[in-house]
């Protein structure tokens, strides 16, 4: 027999009710908010019929469902990250590294692949095999360009990891730091690749490296290259056409929040350069038409596209930029050379969808030039896209070409 | 389901508390919730523990009603054989088949599921049967009460191991007042913080380092071992404190399971401070029946070795655990043979150093996946291989460095001693005796490690209210800090979960 005093019973019940708040508050945030917070699709509630077959698994899935939605997970995560960063000088996630002098590096896509990005960027992208694969891809793209009549350019942009490897903290395993440092010393087959005739290839590593002493250049706590670094990369690309930088651009020194820390919900201002153009403007109508044309090819309805138009182009061409997320930040600057540009972040697209995507865009927008743009760790995407484009061009009776 | 998960803290626990406080038939409610707790983690394997409970209920009644000594002994042997049989089938079949018969890695024998907590509930069952046989306790006529002893969720999957005669009275009658609730809540929050803030953070250092043992330098190998040494203490100790806290909330006064083991000055003392409920179980149900230390030195050493080999095997079906048990057994024998006397003449610091080093080397065996990893790690500790690795300090984030320092400090009894001046601390000397219930033998065991004079003082003087308020504030702060990690799904392995 258990005897519970009245006071103890009251206190225990109050405590129980307080403990139920995180479950009772599940509906206080939306699926969209939670998916944005977790950066993934939420765990689904398990199927009822699976219960009898394996209750333990069913409960495990139900618990994962609950853990994704517990209230107030977003606020709590925010507080924890602040505590880690500001009090304990600890990265808010294990796939982020805090370097010297305010540098912040993204080292992995998520916490399960802590060094996945470093491995891809500093090692895998710069092997001799990657060099061979890139040469092969450029040949394939040249063939595609020849048959389709669309000019093709390949642009590879360096990342903070290879621009400032000496700033990586010593907590990053030595092998990774050595690999990134080797890239900084110019040990990369990507640097010496010569593009076949009719195709432009740009990996402006040396040009960017020469400008890296400016603390606002990349910027130093962002994943994506923006501002001055993109301008230098773009100017290097334009030189291949014999073009000078557009005279209608202005550089302004600003302080902007660290992109990587903003993803963690924290504002930490860092110096950066902002590039404004008098002639390049968003092209909402063009973007809408582009999205409508390619929506069925996208693996998710939330695929990312942008449209830009330029009132004073250096070359009167319509451009399609197929890229990883770097394209979102670089497209407006590259548009300064052309009449119009639509950009699509195609990370999750099947390689086999890319030819169709080009074909649809050509029909709706009239594509004169295709730019494939990735950061160096994403060079493998170029291989896949090039192979798919070449195969499509070789198909007999291809309606496009 | 573990105590530091969101589903336990924010769904199971509050629903249980409401049911326990608002519904009648409290033991039955407790049993049903315990079955649900087990079912959530183990599904249909809950049948194993249910069968075990029913069978032991039957064995208990049969032993309790049997008059002849021979028949009682036979029934006890059958009951113990049944329980050990279950343990062997589910826990050791694969190990035995691989070690003795050399079966391949793809054999079905290696895929037999290990039900959660089987080592714990088997020991509970054996304790129940032996206590009845020895007439230390009466056979439990209520199936609900026996089920509660076997299944009680606070101690179901990781102990502490309760000897039946020490809780038999509490199964039938127990009291919860506001002070019990206070002790329970504070202990639970302290345990939660030990598990989540300390052990889990240190696990994030130790696990990756052990995973790359071949690339560790002596410095990083020692860091890995130190982190694991503290991790396992705060992981298991924290979980035990949570179990103790839940026990207090439900009116059970479980024995303390850890008493600052790393301040021990010998392995003999270490085992009086580490997993005390397991040590007591082995003492009462194996070491003493084997003859203990009553039949001469040689048999004492034999008994110690047997106990520790089996203790190692109890922790896991692998040669690393056997070796770990043998390491402890041999050192205990060595201490009895004269090492202990030599140590006693050395400065205290050397004694502490010896005990800590012996324990840490033991943890390397315990932690390693197999003997080759253990050998590699031990070799690295002593500089073999001449490997260059990053500096130990560079391995740690700011959080991990802070937690490592805090954990090292909290492994000593300094801070609690200091805190107990201002806060009503559940684990302060003699608090067990301040509950208004008669002290059980286990509680007395606890007190034997502590200052009995302080115990009597604490018992005599009621604590001022502000000390309870400060305790609650501290517990609440620790709970909130723990929540920051729990809710965000931070890395949280649990070492003793599968034992």
- CB atoms closer than 10 angstroms to residue A42: 14
- Judged against a pLDDT cut of 60, whether residue A1 lies above it is answered with yes
Closest CA to B499 of B189, B240, B248: B240
Cβ B181–A173 below 8 Å, yes or no?
no
**Which chain A residues are closer than 8 Å to B397 by Cβ?**
88, 90-91, 171
Cβ A2–B6 below 8 Å, yes or no?
no
- Report the 3 state secondary structure along B338-369: HHHHHHHHCCHHHHHHHHHHHHHHHHHHHHCC
Question: Nearest-CA residue of chain A relative to B197?
Answer: A80
**Mean pLDDT, chain B, as a whole number?**
87
CA distances from A188 to A141, A157, A184, A212, B497 (A): 21, 13, 9, 18, 48
Q: What is the ipTM of this complex?
A: 0.86
- CB atoms closer than 10 angstroms to residue B152: 26
φ, ψ (nearest 5 deg) of residue A378: -100, 20
Cβ B11–A57 below 8 Å, yes or no?
no
> What is the average per-residue pLDDT within B227-252?
94
pLDDT tens, residue by residue, A128-184: 999 999 999 999 999 999 999 999 999 999 999 999 999 999 888 888 999 999 999
How far B461 CA lies from chain A's nearest CA (Å)?
A: 22
Q: Tell me if A2 sits within 8 A of B174, measured CB to CB.
A: yes
**Which chain A residues are closer than 8 Å to B5 by Cβ?**
63, 67
> What is the average per-residue pLDDT within B250-272?
92
The residue with greater pLDDT, A118 or B436, is A118
Of the residues B9, B17, B207, the best mutation for testing chain A's interface (the one with the most A CB atoms within 10 Å of its CB) is: B17
By Cβ distance, the residue of A8, A20, A79 closest to B177 is A8
pLDDT tens, residue by residue, A21-32: 999 999 898 988
The residue annotated as part of the active site, out of B315, B328, B352, B466, is B315
- Which helix (H) or strand (E) segment holds residue B328: the answer is helix B319-334
CA distances from B126 to B52, B77, B499 (A): 11, 10, 17
- Judged against a pLDDT cut of 70, whether residue A115 lies above it is answered with yes
Q: Residue A313: helix, strand or coil by DSSP? A: coil
d(CA B428, CA B445): 15
3-state percent helix, strand, coil for chain B, nearest multiple of 5: 75, 0, 25
- Judged against a pLDDT cut of 70, whether residue B69 lies above it is answered with yes
Structure tokens at B117: 């907590």
Residue B103's pLDDT band, with cuts at 50, 70 and 90, is confident
Domain ranges of chain A: 127-394
Q: Residue A91: helix, strand or coil by DSSP? A: coil
Structure tokens at B38: 């087990």
- Judged against a pLDDT cut of 70, whether residue B457 lies above it is answered with no
Cβ A2–B21 below 8 Å, yes or no?
no
What per-residue confidence (pLDDT) applies to B495?
62
Handedness of CA A12, A17, A18, A22 (dihedral sign): positive
Q: Tell me if B425 sits within 8 A of B416, measured CB to CB.
A: yes
3-state percent helix, strand, coil for chain A, nearest multiple of 5: 50, 15, 35
- Judged against a pLDDT cut of 50, whether residue A218 lies above it is answered with yes
- CB atoms closer than 10 angstroms to residue B301: 18
d(CA A167, CA A271): 17
Cβ B13–A171 below 8 Å, yes or no?
no
pLDDT tens, residue by residue, A297-335: 998 888 999 999 999 999 999 999 999 999 999 999 999
Question: Nearest-CA residue of chain B relative to A75?
Answer: B484
Handedness of CA B15, B21, B24, B26 (dihedral sign): positive
> What is the average per-residue pLDDT within B30-44?
95
DSSP B161-215: PPPHHHHHHHHH-EEE-HHHHHHHHHHHHHHHHIIIIIIHHHHHHHHHHHHTGGG
Q: Residue B383: helix, strand or coil by DSSP? A: coil
B133 counts as catalytic: no
Query: Strand B174-176 to strand A2-4: parallel, antiparallel, or no bridges (unpaired)?
Result: parallel
pLDDT tens, residue by residue, A276-296: 999 999 999 999 999 999 999
**Does B397 contact A at CB distance below 8 Å?**
yes
């Amino acid at each position: 027999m258990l005897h519970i005093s009245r006071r103890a019973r009251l206190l225990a019940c109050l405590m129980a009710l307080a403990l139920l708040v995180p479950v009772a508050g599940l509906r206080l945030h939306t699926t969209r908010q939670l998916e944005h917070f977790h950066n993934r699709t939420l765990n689904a509630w398990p199927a009822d019929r699976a219960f009898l077959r394996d209750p333990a698994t069913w409960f495990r899935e139900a618990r994962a469902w609950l853990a994704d939605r517990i209230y107030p997970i977003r606020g709590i995560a925010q507080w924890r990250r602040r505590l880690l960063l500001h009090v304990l000088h600890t990265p808010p996630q294990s796939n982020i590294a805090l370097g010297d002098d305010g540098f912040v590096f993204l080292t992995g896509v998520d916490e399960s692949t802590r060094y996945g990005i470093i491995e891809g960027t500093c090692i895998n992208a710069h092997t001799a095999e990657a060099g061979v694969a890139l040469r092969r891809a450029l040949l394939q793209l040249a063939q595609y360009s020849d048959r389709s009549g669309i000019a093709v350019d390949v642009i590879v942009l360096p990342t903070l990891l290879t621009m400032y490897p000496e700033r990586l903290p010593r907590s990053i395993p030595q092998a990774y730091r050595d690999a990134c440092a080797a890239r900084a010393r110019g040990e990369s087959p990507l640097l010496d690749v010569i593009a076949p005739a009719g195709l432009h290839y740009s990996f402006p590593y040396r040009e960017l490296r020469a400008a890296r002493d400016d603390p606002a250049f990349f910027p130093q706590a962002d994943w994506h290259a923006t501002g001055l670094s993109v301008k230098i990369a773009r100017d290097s690309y334009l030189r291949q056409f014999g073009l000078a930088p557009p005279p209608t651009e202005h550089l302004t020194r600003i302080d902007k929040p660290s992109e990587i820390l903003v993803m963690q919900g924290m504002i930490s201002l860092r110096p950066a350069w902002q590039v404004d153009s008098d002639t390049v403007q968003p092209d909402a109508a063009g973007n809408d038409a582009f999205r409508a044309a390619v929506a069925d090819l996208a693996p998710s309805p939330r695929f990312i596209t942008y449209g830009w138009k330029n009132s004073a182009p250096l070359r009167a061409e319509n451009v399609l930029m197929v890229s990883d997320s770097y394209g979102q930040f670089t497209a407006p600057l590259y548009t300064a050379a052309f009449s119009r540009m639509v950009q699509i972040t195609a990370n999750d697209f099947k390689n086999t969808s890319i030819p169709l995507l080009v074909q649809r865009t050509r029909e709706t927008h009239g594509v004169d030039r295709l730019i494939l743009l990735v950061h160096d760790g994403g060079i493998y995407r170029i291989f896949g896209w090039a192979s798919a484009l070449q195969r499509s061009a070789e198909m007999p009776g291809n309606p496009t070409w | 389901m573990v105590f530091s998960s969101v589903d336990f803290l924010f769904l199971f626990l509050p629903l249980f508390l409401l049911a326990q406080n608002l519904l009648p038939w409290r033991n039955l409610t407790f049993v049903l919730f315990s079955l649900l707790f087990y079912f959530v983690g183990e599904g249909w394997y809950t049948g194993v523990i249910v069968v075990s409970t029913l069978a032991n209920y039957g064995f208990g009644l049969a032993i309790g009603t049997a008059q002849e000594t021979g028949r009682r002994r036979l029934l006890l042997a059958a009951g113990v054989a049944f329980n050990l049989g279950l343990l062997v089938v589910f826990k050791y079949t694969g190990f035995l088949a691989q070690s003795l018969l050399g079966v391949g890695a793809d054999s079905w024998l290696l895929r037999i599921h290990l039900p959660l907590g089987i080592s714990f509930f088997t020991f509970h069952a054996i304790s129940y049967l032996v206590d009845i046989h020895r007439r230390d306790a009466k056979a439990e006529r209520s199936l609900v009460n026996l089920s509660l002893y076997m299944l009680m969720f606070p101690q179901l999957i990781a102990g502490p191991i309760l000897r039946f005669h020490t809780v038999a009275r509490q199964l039938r009658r127990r009291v919860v007042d506001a002070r019990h609730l206070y002790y329970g809540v504070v202990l639970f929050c302290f345990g939660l913080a030990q598990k989540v803030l300390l052990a889990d953070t240190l696990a994030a250092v130790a696990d990756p380092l052990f995973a790359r043992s071949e690339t560790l330098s002596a410095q990083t190998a020692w860091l890995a071992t130190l982190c694991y040494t503290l991790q396992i203490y705060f992981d298991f100790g924290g979980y035990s404190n949570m179990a103790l806290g839940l026990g207090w909330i439900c009116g059970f006064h479980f024995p303390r399971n850890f008493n600052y083991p790393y301040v021990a000055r010998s392995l003999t003392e270490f085992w009086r401070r580490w997993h005390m409920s397991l040590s007591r179980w082995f003492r009462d149900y194996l070491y003493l029946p084997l003859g203990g230390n009553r039949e001469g030195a040689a048999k004492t050493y034999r008994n110690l070795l047997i106990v520790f080999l089996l203790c190692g095997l109890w922790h896991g079906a692998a040669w690393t655990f056997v070796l770990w048990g043998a390491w402890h057994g041999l050192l205990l024998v060595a201490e009895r043979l004269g090492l202990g006397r030599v140590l006693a003449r050395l400065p205290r610091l050397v004694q502490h150093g010896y005990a800590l080093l012996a324990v840490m080397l033991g943890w390397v065996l315990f932690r390693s996946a197999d003997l080759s990893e253990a050998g590699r790690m031990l070799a690295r500790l002593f500089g073999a291989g001449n490997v260059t690795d990053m500096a130990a300090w560079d391995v740690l984030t700011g959080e991990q460095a802070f937690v490592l320092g805090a954990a090292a400090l909290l492994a000593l009894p300094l801070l609690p001693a200091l805190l107990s001046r201002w806060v009503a601390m559940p684990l302060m000397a003699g608090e067990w005796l301040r509950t208004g219930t008669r002290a059980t033998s286990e509680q007395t065991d606890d007190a034997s490690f502590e200052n009995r004079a302080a115990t009597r003082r604490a018992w005599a003087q009621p604590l001022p209210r502000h000390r309870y308020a400060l305790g609650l504030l501290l517990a609440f702060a620790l709970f909130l800090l723990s929540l920051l990690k729990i809710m965000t799904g931070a890395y949280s392995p649990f070492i003793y979960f599968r034992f």
